[in-house]
Structure 1
Amino acid sequence: MIVKQIQLIIVCTLVCCIHRAAAQSPADLVNPFVGASTSVGAAGTYHGLGKTFPGATTPYGMVQVSPNTITGGDNGSGYSYEHTSIEGFAFTQMSGIGWYGDLGNFLVMPTTGPLRTQAGKPGSQDGYRSNYLKSSEKAAAGYYSVQLSDYKIKAEMTAAPHSGILKFTFPANQQSRIQIDLARRVGGTSTSQYVKIVNDSTITGWMKCTPDGGGWGNGDGHADYTVYFYAVFSKPLRHYGVWSADIPDSWPSKLEDVTSDRYQQQVGHAAILNAVKEKEGKHLGFFTEFDTKEGEQVFMKAGISFVSMEGAAANLQQEIRDWNFEKVHSRARELWNRELSRIQVAGGTKEEQQVFYTALYHTMIDPRIVQDVDGKYTGGDGKVHTGSAFRKRTIFSGWDVFRSQMPLQTIINPSLVNDLVNSLVTLAQEKNKDYLERWELLNAYSGCMLGNPAVSVIADAYAKGIRNYNVPEAYRLAVNSVERFGNGDKGYTPGNLCLSYTLEYAYTDWCVSQLAKGLHHPDDEKKYALRGENYKKIFDADKRWFRPRDTVGNWLPWPDAGRMTAWYGTMESNPYQQGWFVPQDVDGMVALMGGKEKVISDLQSFFEHTPENMMWNDYYNHANEPVHHVPFLFNRLGKPWLTQQWTRAICRRAYHNSVEGLVGNEDVGQMSAWYVLAAIGLHPVCPGDTRQEITSPVFDKVSVKLEKGSFTIKTINNSPENIYIQSARLNGKPLNQCHIDYREIAKGGMLELVMGPAPAQQWGIN
């Protein structure tokens, strides 16, 4: 008997050990290749696919060490999976954006043989770019590697928040090299560069990027920043130099100019200046040459700063002090596991867990930190400031992220929301602007997209008790924003984008009314609440839908395709899609549209006509943001089981663990944040309102870490078939409504959901 008990204990122990060995950390479940394509052909639309990058970074890190396969075109991440060659590994990247993109600075490339000074076009043999072995390409949270087949070099990289390190395994060669294109920029070129030899292993310098050099919006986004670097090589600088292309002052340097044959020929014939100790120019590169033995590893590490060369040096010296690549990689994994563990899920399939943690990973790239390790950052006034009360952050893709990304952060990372609001408010002060920017990039007021999304973020933060910023100043700027950009005396914004502008402006007017209410400004509360109803002024009772007006109030001609007509009064959508955006007054919207039953029928048709793969389409177009709240409208219409049905369908059909796993641009975390919230069973309809809609979770158990305690969502009998909520309990008490207040989540507790295969039409309709 005792022997059998011992045997049983041994077996159980072995089973537990095997189980623990098989268990994966959140970082292990991340696949950075998800969405890493800009392919128009694969997407079926000019918007392309996810436009993410696969390289190494850390949560909200300043540095992203990532492969770049292309400079031209609408390739904001600098990389697309179907490309077959790599032009280098840059230290800065943007995630999931179009509009030509920006960053992609400090492009490092290991090479052998004769020095070439231009990257060359894909498919050509006239540059330093290299074909690569696709099967060798590997990416994980904080790590990337690939085999460059033209040079027989293995490239590996990892990152720290302000720095990165690359490991190159060379073949035997008398002319091996690391070269750095200092002019390179994803959407154009840096307009001037500087490099200096510090000692026999170190260089430092900067790259100035202005609108004249293209970049964000090919210059129209007003991006104006300087990247400073401090780079150290493991092999001493013995044979080194600078290449300098003679670019005439009269030549423009926007994207189409930089990628032209004329410009590239000039770069290809750049002067090679050996042993130069210091150089400033318009199109510079640096190289160091050495001989290598077969399999010899050569390292390069660099710190990046947007403040100074001294800041770049301090960033590197604090984060990467030696050549221990694995130590840096291990630390990056630790940082990712710590952040990704803010939400822990159990159940679901392996792919669903991979999709979830990859999505959560993508929500943790921006808004990134932009201050150095000593707290210094460059402000909107061009002066150096030191952050103490908050961490300076950048890249606020407002029109996208106010819908899901920032509401997600209010739950899992409220300090980040405080940082962002502080960053936007102080930026306005530094730039002497009396309004909040809608799409901020490295202090630029880019003016990209529409609406007043920063007002939404502030209203949502304030309503949820996130208020560690200058609240009176934030309110003043919010008021000024809606006054400067709003529906004006007409109560609507006339013209070809009338629907999108008018509906978005009406919503943020309502947001100001909510702020005014909280701050006890009754006159403002009433004023902006009334403006929040201005959506009614563009509803055509004859057509029973929203319709654009001209400046004198006449309806614009109704097209043959009616509300299905793309760009008819709308931005990147059609009236059928944009018309649902009245989150602040769903009841009023429903009344205009003919009542609940008519709206429910129309919404059902909206979803049922959506293609199975949910790629870009004229119905529920999950690839674009205006419809992201629409599945949750069924909760407001007394049909919560339809919200449950369609959110589970979207999670299943629009997200996959593959390169094509995002049906549209990632948009700086928005696409992924939608999945994270929907998959755990919560999502708002109206940021600024603390009501959170309850839907069908993908997972059996979800635990969300809070600043104090945790909030758990537990399902019983959950499965791919049992997608409908039958009953619910909140902290042990029956819950008969399909929504929960943010405050209930923030104070911690447990939501239990019993699931079944058929709609429970009596639950959640209160």
Structure 2
Amino acid sequence: MINRIQFSIILFFVVFNCYSQSRYVNPFIGAVTSGEKAETGGHGFGKTFPGAATPFGLTQVSPNTITGGDNGSGYNYEHTSIEGFAFTQMSGIGWYGDLGNFLVMPTTGELKTSAGSPEHPEKGYRSRFSKKDEKASAGYYEVVLSDYNIKAEMTATPHSGMLRFTFPKHKKSRIQIDLARRVGGTSTEQYVKVVDNHTIQGWMKCTPEGGGWGNGDGKANYTVYFYAQFSKPFTDTGVWSCALPEGQKRKLEDVTSASYQEMVSKSVVTKNIGIKEGKHLGFYTEFPTQANEQVLMKAGISFVSMEGAKNNLETEIKDWNFNNVLEQTQKRWDDALGKIEVHGGTEDEKTVFYTALYHSMIDPRDFSDVDGKYVGGDGHIHQTKDFTKRTVFSGWDVFRSQFPLQTIINPTIVNDMINSLVTLAEESKQDYLERWEFLNAYSGCMIGNPAVSVITDAYMKGISNFDIEKAYKYARQTVEKFGNGEKGTTGEISTTLEYAYTEWCMSQLAKRLNKTADVDLYAHRAQSYRNLFDPTVGWFRPKEQDGTWSKWPETGRLTQNYGCVESNPYQQGWFVPHDVDGFAGLLGGKQKTIADLNSFFELAPEDMMWNNYYNHANEPVHHVPFLFNRLGAPWLTQKWTREICSRAYHNSVYGLIGNEDVGQMSAWYVLTASGLHPICPGDTRYEITSPVFDTITFKLDPKYYPGTQFVIKTENNSPENRYIQKAELNGVPYNNCFIDHNEIMRGGTLILFMGNEPNKQWGLSKIVESK
């Protein structure tokens, strides 16, 4: 017999396991950067981080294993030692990366001021660890640092983080903080002040001279402020400072050099100092510990001020109850992940799905403090009133799937990001919309005008809590500054096609706003893609500055970087999402296009790693599987999307076949595994495809949409039964292979009846108008 208390506990865990989507999150999926196996993966296997975060939060408390190389997240599962736990991280990016600030490390024994290297961890404060002692879940990370026999646990709130260290018995236990540390470089100036016997505060300036984003080329220029408290009062503290010579260069290659690290290892240590400012600082607090003694540290982070960091911490973490903070963080994730509920599929497929949804909710992150203050593009402090200031906009990646996903489940996030981009254009006096924004920096990374796509897509879908006239003004100035213009081409395939699409977006937005002159202007420019189609080779071809065709290479359209960015003409050439019929006409009609497109998939390798055909590891092809719907062969969209979902996504560390790219790779899976995906953001049409799961329920935001939920159900679904035989929408036969955004937002149920052979009649004609 069990008593009432035991029954209540059992009931709690049963209910939690039934309704907790966060239990399916595996933060180790994609947590691989440059490494032995990762080097064979072209662009890596995700480059995510496994540490603690909150949905779209400002802080991420995560282990860091490396500072140098192409390691944007600062962590690689293949590494066997950890250099510390940072309070800020990027997710899924290349180009050296950035953040990784406020690096905390618990140690024992002799104080070391240099981190050491993965090859020789004993030369620094980093520690080896065993993979069996490493655990991660949504909002939580745990590891045992074997060199020190210290257990480290961490969790996060939106603007703060908390660490719990379990020490062994030792006369010299310590918590040390490397204030100079930064992924991809170093902070260039630091300041630390001891406030009282358990508190410190300070800041770390990160400028392009210190490397970071693009090793300085990304123009990242930010200051991280902190306010940190320790559960064990200070009795012995100190600051180490490296006396860098005048003129010392501080880019990534300099900071990671043996000579630089030798200087850092010989830093001057000053005990019990109250205030210190310098170019390479660290702080420590030292104390004796008993066996299994727990010492905690919590810190608020701000990009605005030390006062903001203090307010962030005191607002979000009021005591030392680590378990309570963790419980609240897990609840945040359950609420966020609960916006899509899936049933059916395997346990691994659910883990892949909810981890993908989790990764799609890291960015765009909050850039303001709890009181709404943020640093604007003019360097001044501003106060938000109607939106949350957000940052990390990987535009060229995320306009394709990530933002269309958020328009369904998190429209407020989309609205925030648009407001953030528009106000940045105004505050910075750049007067155009940045394509890859990072902490107010106009990094200029990648191509196209993705912010124009995001604005158009949102406005067409009823997300409009921003100044549309101002947004239109900056969007127009953007496409005029970066576009095909009167020449009708840039000469390059990638840029000409990408610009033609966003010029179409401008035409659509102009039409909605009754700007008639611009409707025709940009509709005409949207056809610029035709200017690079060469009928003699039957494909797109770059042009020289004098307008003549560039020499056609021996490998033809399979030639990487031939007029293309991170792709070849075969891959980039399919990007005419706004005029599929016109594009198919250039190729000789829909049947020829279908045959070529099908070959594009059939020639891709089984593992779908980086290749010259369908290259799911990179974004230019992410819309391509859905083109079959537009070409009159929807059964092939159903076939190939199921293939991609099973072959390119796995519940493993190497479960992503390319960079996560700030949520894009994962958002593609979330939408596609649910049975929906757009071809052309800015158009309210979603393509219908074969869902991985039996039932998918989207919870709709009542602030934006009239419906409460939209459900996609399947009958007779399985890996073999991947083909749609017929469909019903709200009880009425439905023969469209697409559905409009407004139909989804009204709420209702779409039932797909599945089979193991294609029904080549379904989806080709309209039987009944949807209600």
Structure 2 length-normalised TM? 0.96
**Offset of 1:487 from its aligned partner?**
1.4
Aligned to 1:224: 221
Could you tell me which residue of structure 1 aligns to residue 762 of structure 2? 763
- Structure 2 partner of 1:720: 719
**Contact conserved, 1:40 with 1:47, CA < 8 A, in 2?**
no
Provide the residue aligned with 2:85 in structure 1. 89
Q: Which residue of the partner structure matches residue 596 of structure 2? A: 602
Cα drift, residue 16 of structure 1: 10
1:697 maps to a residue whose letter is P
Q: Work out whether 1:108 is the aligned partner of 2:107.
A: no
Aligned to 1:10: none
Distance in 1 separating the partners of 2:388 and 2:724:
41
Aligned ranges for residues 10-49 of structure 1 at < 5 Å? 23=18, 25-39=20-34, 41-43=36-38, 44-49=40-45
d(CA) in 2 for partners of 1:665 and 1:204?
Answer: 35
- AA paired with 2:567? S
SS in 2 for 1:432: coil
- The answer to whether structure 1 residue 357 and structure 2 residue 354 are counterparts is yes
Q: Does 1:482 align with 2:479?
A: yes
Q: Which residue of 1 aligns with 2:519?
A: 525
What is the one-letter code of the residue matched to 1:478?
Answer: A
Cα deviations by residue, 1:534-581 (Å, 9 ceiling, x for unpaired)? 000000100000000011111111111000011111111111000000
Q: Quick check: 1:40–1:46 contact (8 Å CA) kept in 2? A: no
Q: Quick one: distance in 1 between partners of 2:272 and 2:413?
A: 46
Distance 1:338 1:46 in 2: 36
Root mean square deviation of aligned Cα: 1.4
String of CA shifts for 1:27-69, please: whole Å, max 9, x gaps: 0000000000013553424421200000001000111000000
Measured in 2, the distance between the counterparts of 1:14 and 1:609 equals 54
- Unpaired runs of at least 5, structure 1: 1-12
CA deviation map 1:569-603 (0-9, x unaligned):
11111110000000010001000111111111111
Aligned AA (2:754): M
Amino acid corresponding to residue 747 of structure 2 in structure 1: G
Aligned to 1:290: 287
Q: 8 Å contact 1:407–1:687 — kept in the other structure?
A: yes
| CA spacing shift, 1:21–1:402, aligned 2, 3 Å | closer
- In structure 2, what is the equivalent of residue 167 of structure 1? 164
Contact 2:42 2:610 in 1 (8 A): no
Residue in 1 that maps onto 2:653: 659
Tell me if structure 2 keeps the 8 A contact 1:499–1:578: yes
Displacement of 1:17 in angstroms is 9.9
Aligned to 2:51: 55
For residues 411 and 537 of structure 2, what CA distance do their matches in structure 1 show? Answer: 43
- The aligned amino acid for 1:587 is D
Q: Percent same amino acid among aligned pairs?
A: 66
1-structure distance, mates of 2:679, 2:157: 36
Of 392, 396, 418 in structure 1, the residue corresponding to residue 393 of structure 2 is 396
> Secondary structure, in 3 states, of the residue corresponding to 1:76?
coil
Q: Distance in 2 between matches of 1:440 and 1:642?
A: 36
SS in 2 for 1:673: helix
Residue 371 to residue 17, structure 1, CA distance change in 2 (3 Å)? closer
TM-superposition CA deviations, 1:507-533 (whole Å, max 9, x none): 000000001000001110000001000
Question: Deviation at 1:466?
Answer: 0.8
**Residue in structure 1 matched with residue 691 of structure 2 by the alignment:** 697
Would you identify which runs of 4 or more consecutive aligned residues in structure 1 move more than 4 Å?
A: 13-22
Structure 1 residues 417 and 284: CA distance shift in structure 2, 3 A: same
- Amino acid aligned to 2:634: P
The alignment partner of 1:584 has SS state of coil
SS of 1:81's equivalent in the other structure is coil
Letter in 1 for 2:662: V
On the 8 A contact 1:509/1:529 being kept in 2, the answer is: yes
Q: What is the distance in 1 between the residues matched to 2:13 and 2:733?
A: 39
User: What is residue 627 of structure 1 aligned with on the other side?
Assistant: 621
Give, in whole Å, the separation in 2 of the partners of 1:502 and 1:336. Answer: 41
- Amino acid of the residue matched to residue 151 of structure 2? K
Range 130-139 or range 19-28, more displaced: 19-28
The DSSP-based 3-state class of the residue aligned with 2:403 is helix
1:311-710 pair list within 5 angstroms? 311-494=308-491, 498-708=492-702, 709-710=708-709
Which amino acid letter does the alignment assign opposite residue 334 of structure 2?
N
**Post-superposition CA distance 1:146-193 (Å, at most 9, x none):** 010100100000011100110001111000000000000001000000
1:195 is aligned to 2:189: no
Q: How many Å separate the matches in 2 of 1:18 and 1:395?
A: 37
Q: Aligned partners of 2:20, 2:416: CA distance in 1, in Å?
A: 28
Q: 1:51·1:75 contact (CA, 8 Å) conserved in 2?
A: yes
Contact kept in structure 2, 1:42 and 1:49, CA below 8 Å: no
Match in the other structure for 2:769: none
Q: Please tell me whether residue 71 in structure 1 is matched to residue 67 in structure 2.
A: yes
The aligned counterpart of 2:768 is: none
- Post-superposition Cα deviations, 1:325-346, rounded to whole Å, max 9, x if no partner, equal 0000000000000000000001
**Deviations 1:347-370, CA, capped at 9 Å, x for gaps:** 111111000000000000000011
Match of 1:3 in 2: none
Q: Alpha-carbon deviations, 1:428-473, whole Å to 9, x = none?
A: 0000011100000000011000000000000101111111101001
Q: CA deviation at 1:21?
A: 7.3
Give the drift of 1:249.
2.6
* TM-score normalised by length of structure 1: 0.97
The superposition leaves residues 659-714 of structure 1 with CA deviations (integer Å, 9 ceiling, x where unpaired) of 00000000000000000000000000000000100000111111100013001101
Aligned to 2:730: 731
CA deviations over 1:279-333 (Å, ceiling 9, x no partner): 0000000000000011110100000000000010011011111110000000000
CA distance in 1 between counterparts of 2:226 and 2:650 reads 37
Distance across 2 between alignment mates of 1:435 and 1:19 = 52
In structure 2, the partner of 1:308 is: 305
CA contact (8 A) 2:50 2:136 kept: yes
Looking at structure 1, the residues matched to 15 and 205 of structure 2 have their Cα atoms a distance apart, in angstroms, of 50
Unaligned runs of 5+ in 2: 1-7, 703-707, 766-771
Aligned partners of 2:578 and 2:662: how far apart in 1?
25
- Deviation for aligned residue 1:608: 0.6
SS of the counterpart of 2:58?
Answer: coil
- Corresponding residue of 2:149: 152
Structure 2 CA distance, aligned partners of 1:484 and 1:21? 53
